[in-house]
């Protein structure tokens, strides 16, 4: 395994673990506790600029890093979901032309959605007429 592949695998493993942990109630409780401790310590530090700077800097750094971790996790989830949908399309009676439509540009995707919505409307009308 190359060093780059190893680093990539490490980051994916790390991102999954962090995303999993931060999504748990314990992570919220821990973050809330840190903020409570910071707020309670305000009078001790006379609500100084340094006291304010500590929480501002910490939350900015955590937020900045979490964007990358959560985006990586979300990208992998979306890719896995897309692969599952493609498999369902390929093994069903659905149009195989829908495989890979996530790569269409916005305008092409909008046209496809409009076409599908029109087909759904037509089908609803036919079913409604058949019930009458």
Domain limits for position 18: 3-94
One domain, residues 115 and 76:
no
25/67 same-domain check: yes
* Whole-model pTM over 0.75: no
Cα–Cα distance for residue pair 69/83, rounded to 1 Å: 22
In terms of phi and psi (left: phi > 0; alpha: psi -120 to 50; beta: otherwise), the region of 24 is beta
Please indicate, yes or no, whether residues 71 and 121 belong to a single structural domain of this protein. no
More confident residue, 124 or 94: 124
Query: Comparing C-alpha atoms, which of 68, 84, 74, 81 is closest to residue 11?
Result: 68
- Write down the pLDDT at residue 128: 85
- The tally of domains found in the chain comes to 2
């Amino acid at each position: 395994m190359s060093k780059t592949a190893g680093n990539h695998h490490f980051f994916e493993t790390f991102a999954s673990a962090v995303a999993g942990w931060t999504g748990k109630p314990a992570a919220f409780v821990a973050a809330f506790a840190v903020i409570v401790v910071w707020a309670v310590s305000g009078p001790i530090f006379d609500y100084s600029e340094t006291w304010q700077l500590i929480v501002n800097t910490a939350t900015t750094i955590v937020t900045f890093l979490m964007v990358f971790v959560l985006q990586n996790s979300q990208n992998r989830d979306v890719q896995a979901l897309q692969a599952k949908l493609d498999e369902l399309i390929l093994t069903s009676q659905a149009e195989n032309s829908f495989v890979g439509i996530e790569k269409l540009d916005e305008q092409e995707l909008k046209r496809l959605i409009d076409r599908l919505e029109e087909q759904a409307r037509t089908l609803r009308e036919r079913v409604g007429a058949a019930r009458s």
